[in-house]
């Protein structure tokens, strides 16, 4: 599947529910699930593999961040978090990442 197609699918499947995402909950999820590999702190080190959350926030729009959380096989060995996170948790995680921009 082409990355652009997967991003379009993710945007449609996981379109905003209208509820405000909670970046504080997203930070807690990141600490528990993402910090083993990613630098999740504000102003995190700019590295390529895996990128810091601050770097991701700087160069990826919301839809791409969402798609890469839900469908990571498109780009990396990162696990598919859609197996563990519900939609609201994914929104919270995306909101936290975007808050680091």
pLDDT, tens digit, for every residue of 15-38?
555 578 999 999 999 999 999 999
Domain ranges, residue 71: 3-99
Number of domains comprising the chain: 1
Decide if 29 contacts 85 (C-beta within 8 A): yes
- Nearest one of 2, 4, 5, 14 to 66, comparing CA atoms: 14
Ramachandran area for residue 47 (φ above 0: left; ψ -120 to 50: alpha; else beta): beta
pTM, to two decimals: 0.77
Number of Cβ atoms within 10 Å of the Cβ of 73: 11
Average confidence (pLDDT) over 87-100: 96
Give 100 or 1, the one with higher predicted confidence.
100
- Residue 101 pLDDT grade (very low, low, confident, very high; cuts 50, 70, 90): confident
Residue 30's pLDDT is what?
97
pLDDT, tens digit, for every residue of 4-16?
555 555 555 555 5
**How far apart are the C-alpha atoms of 29 and 26, rounded to whole Å?**
5
pLDDT, tens digit, for every residue of 46-90?
666 889 999 999 999 999 999 989 888 766 788 878 788 999 999
Q: For residue 23, what is the domain's CATH number? A: 2.60.40.420
């Amino acid at each position: 599947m082409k990355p652009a197609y997967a991003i379009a699918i993710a945007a449609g499947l996981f379109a905003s529910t209208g509820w405000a995402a909670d970046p504080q909950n997203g930070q807690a999820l990141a600490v528990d699930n993402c910090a083993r590999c990613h630098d999740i702190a504000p102003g995190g080190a700019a590295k390529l593999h895996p990128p810091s959350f601050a770097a991701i926030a700087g160069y990826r729009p919301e839809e791409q961040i969402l798609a890469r959380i839900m469908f990571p096989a498109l780009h990396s060995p990162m696990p598919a978090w859609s197996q563990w996170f519900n939609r609201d948790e994914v929104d919270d995680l995306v909101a936290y990442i975007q808050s680091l921009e």
